[in-house]
C-alpha cells in the first residue's frame, strides 16, 4: 500500500516561497489540503473524512492522514484536480432576511447558496454566517484557508452591524456592553457603539464586534433588557456592501478588496481568478433588471 506520509530527510515538509497549490507540499494534513481546494472548512473536511467521502490512493482516508504531491486524492469518487486552489475567487452577497446560511435545510427554507454562481471545481465557502432574521453582508470565497483565517477569533477582524433597538437605552447600558457582559458561552463585548437615527423607543446604533459567535449582537442587547427589532451587517474587515448591490444580489469582489482580506489575516495573496464572461453578464443583469423596470415605468407615464 502506498505510504500516505511523505517526509523529507529533515522530517519536516518542504516550504515554498510561492503560493501553495491544492495538491500540496509533502506531508500536509489531508483536511488542510481539501479546505484550501475550496471544499469547505477544515472541520467540515474532517466530517467528510469520517463519512468516508475521501479516498487517498484508492483507499478510504482516515483522520490524521497526511498526503504528498504524489498521492491521488478523490472526493466522492472524483479526482482532486491539480492546481484547484492555485487561483482564488471572492464574491460578496447581500443577504435578505428569510434565508439560511446552510447548503440544505430539512425544513425546506431558502438558502443563500441558491443565488450564487455555480463553481466547477470546488465550492463557495461562507465567511461566517448570519441568522435567519439578519440581513446584510456575506463574503464567499473558494479559499478555505482564507475563510478560516477571517473567521478565527485570533484574527480580530471587525464586523460592523446596524441595529435597531426597542427600549429605553441608558448610557450605563452602552458602557456595560463595551466593558463586557458574561453570556452563556463566555464574556462578550462591543469594541465600538455609535448612535444613529431614530427617536422614542426605536433607535438605530452601529456596533462593532471582533468575533462571530451565534446571535452575539442580539444577546448583548438582550442582556440589558432591550429588544433588537432589525439587524444588518454592513461591514466585514475593510469590505462594505456596495450601494448598488440590493438584497438577494451578489457581486464579484475587486482585486484590491481581495488583497485586503489576505492582509488582514497575514496570508500570501493567491492569484485571483476572474468571473467568466457569462457570469459577468448574469451579475450585471441582476442590476439591470431593476433599472430596466424603473425605466419602463417612467417611459410609460
With CA atoms as reference, report the closest residue to 137 among 157, 119, 159, 154: 159
Instruction: Please state, in angstroms and rounded to a whole number, the distance separating the CA atoms of residues 32 and 45.
Output: 8
Q: Is 131 assigned a catalytic role?
A: yes
Judge whether 234 and 135 are in contact, CB under 8 Å: no
Boundaries of domain holding 7: 1-85
Judge whether 156 and 266 are in contact, CB under 8 Å: no
Q: Which of 125-129, 161-165, 248-252, 297-301 has the lowest mean pLDDT?
A: 297-301
Summarize the confidence of residues 120-128 as an average pLDDT.
Answer: 83
- The verdict on 31 and 114 lying in the same domain is no
- The verdict on 127 and 8 lying in the same domain is no
Instruction: Please state, in angstroms and rounded to a whole number, the distance separating the CA atoms of residues 244 and 290.
Output: 10
What values do phi and psi take at 128, rounded to 5?
80, 180
| Residue 201 is assigned to a structural domain of this protein | yes
Q: What is the pLDDT of residues 209-223, one digit of tens each?
A: 999 889 999 999 999
| Residue 102 is assigned to a structural domain of this protein | yes
Number of domains in the chain: 2
Summarize the confidence of residues 260-287 as an average pLDDT.
Answer: 90
Can you give the CATH number for the domain in which 40 is found?
Answer: 3.10.290.10
Of 244 and 10, more confident: 244
CA distances from residue 289 to 95, 116, 241, 282, 284 in whole angstroms, order as listed = 18, 17, 19, 11, 9
- The verdict on 80 and 143 lying in the same domain is no
- The verdict on 106 and 243 lying in the same domain is yes
With CA atoms as reference, report the closest residue to 231 among 152, 139, 166, 157: 166
- Give the best-scoring range by mean pLDDT among 22-31, 70-79, 240-249: 240-249
- The verdict on 206 and 67 lying in the same domain is no
Instruction: Please state, in angstroms and rounded to a whole number, the distance separating the CA atoms of residues 103 and 109.
Output: 10
How many C-alpha atoms does 153 have within 13 Å on its Cβ side?
4
Of 171 and 300, more confident: 171
Give yes or no for residue 284 having a pLDDT over 80.
yes
- The verdict on 113 and 146 lying in the same domain is yes
pLDDT the model gives residue 26: 54
Q: Which of 5-14, 111-120, 211-220 has the lowest mean pLDDT?
A: 5-14
pLDDT the model gives residue 144: 83
| Residue 137 is assigned to a structural domain of this protein | yes
Judge whether 272 and 173 are in contact, CB under 8 Å: no
- The verdict on 4 and 95 lying in the same domain is no
* CB count in 10 Å sphere of residue 213: 15
Res. 91 pLDDT band, cuts 50 70 90: very high
- The verdict on 187 and 76 lying in the same domain is no
Judge whether 237 and 259 are in contact, CB under 8 Å: no
pLDDT the model gives residue 2: 44
- Give the best-scoring range by mean pLDDT among 104-108, 247-251, 287-291: 247-251
pLDDT the model gives residue 49: 95
Give yes or no for residue 200 having a pLDDT over 80.
no
What values do phi and psi take at 150, rounded to 5?
-70, -30
- Three-state secondary-structure class, residue 152: coil
Q: Considering the candidates 131, 185, 192, 254, report the single residue annotated as catalytic.
A: 131
| Residue 269 is assigned to a structural domain of this protein | no
Percent of the chain with pLDDT over 70: 84
- The verdict on 76 and 136 lying in the same domain is no
- The verdict on 75 and 92 lying in the same domain is no
pLDDT the model gives residue 94: 98
* CB count in 10 Å sphere of residue 163: 23
Q: Which of 34-43, 233-242, 269-278 has the lowest mean pLDDT?
A: 34-43
Res. 122 pLDDT band, cuts 50 70 90: confident
Q: What is the pLDDT of residues 50-84, one digit of tens each?
A: 999 999 999 999 999 999 878 899 999 988 765 44
pLDDT the model gives residue 289: 58
Can you give the CATH number for the domain in which 106 is found?
Answer: 3.30.2350.10
In the listed set 85, 109, 142, which residue is the last one of a domain according to the structure? 85
Instruction: Please state, in angstroms and rounded to a whole number, the distance separating the CA atoms of residues 119 and 99.
Output: 21
Cell numbers linked to 53: 467521502
Percent of the chain with pLDDT over 90: 57
Give yes or no for residue 198 having a pLDDT over 80.
no
What values do phi and psi take at 264, rounded to 5?
-60, -35
Of 40 and 276, more confident: 276
Amino acid at each position: 500500500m502506498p505510504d500516505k506520509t511523505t517526509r523529507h530527510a529533515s522530517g519536516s515538509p518542504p516550504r515554498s516561497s510561492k503560493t501553495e497549490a491544492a495538491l500540496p507540499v509533502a506531508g500536509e494534513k489531508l483536511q488542510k489540503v481539501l479546505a484550501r481546494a475550496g471544499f469547505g472548512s477544515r472541520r467540515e473536511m474532517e466530517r467528510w473524512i469520517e463519512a468516508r467521502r475521501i479516498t487517498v490512493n484508492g483507499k478510504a482516508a482516515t483522520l490524521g492522514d497526511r498526503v504528498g504531491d504524489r498521492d491521488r486524492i478523490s472526493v466522492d469518487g472524483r479526482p482532486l484536480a491539480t492546481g484547484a486552489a492555485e487561483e482564488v475567487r471572492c464574491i460578496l452577497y447581500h443577504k435578505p432576511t428569510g434565508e439560511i446560511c446552510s447548503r440544505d435545510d430539512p425544513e425546506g427554507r431558502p438558502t443563500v447558496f441558491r443565488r450564487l454562481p455555480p463553481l466547477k471545481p470546488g465550492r463557495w465557502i461562507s465567511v461566517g454566517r448570519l441568522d435567519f432574521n439578519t440581513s446584510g453582508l456575506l463574503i464567499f470565497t473558494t479559499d478555505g484557508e482564507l475563510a478560516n483565517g477571517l473567521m478565527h477569533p485570533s484574527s480580530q477582524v471587525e464586523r460592523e452591524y446596524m441595529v435597531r433597538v426597542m427600549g429605553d437605552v441608558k448610557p450605563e447600558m452602552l458602557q456595560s456592553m463595551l466593558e463586557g457582559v458574561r453570556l452563556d458561552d463566555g464574556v462578550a463585548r462591543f469594541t465600538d457603539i455609535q448612535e444613529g437615527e431614530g427617536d422614542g423607543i426605536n433607535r438605530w446604533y452601529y456596533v462593532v464586534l471582533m468575533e462571530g459567535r451565534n446571535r452575539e449582537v442580539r444577546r448583548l442587547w438582550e442582556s440589558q433588557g432591550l429588544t433588537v427589532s432589525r439587524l444588518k451587517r454592513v461591514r466585514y474587515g475593510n469590505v462594505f456592501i456596495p450601494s448598488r448591490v440590493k438584497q438577494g444580489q451578489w457581486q464579484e469582489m475587486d482585486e484590491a478588496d481581495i488583497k485586503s482580506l489576505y492582509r488582514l489575516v497575514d496570508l500570501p495573496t493567491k492569484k485571483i481568478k476572474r468571473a467568466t464572461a457569462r457570469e459577468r453578464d448574469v451579475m450585471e443583469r441582476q442590476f439591470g433588471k431593476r433599472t430596466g423596470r424603473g425605466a419602463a415605468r417612467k417611459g410609460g407615464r
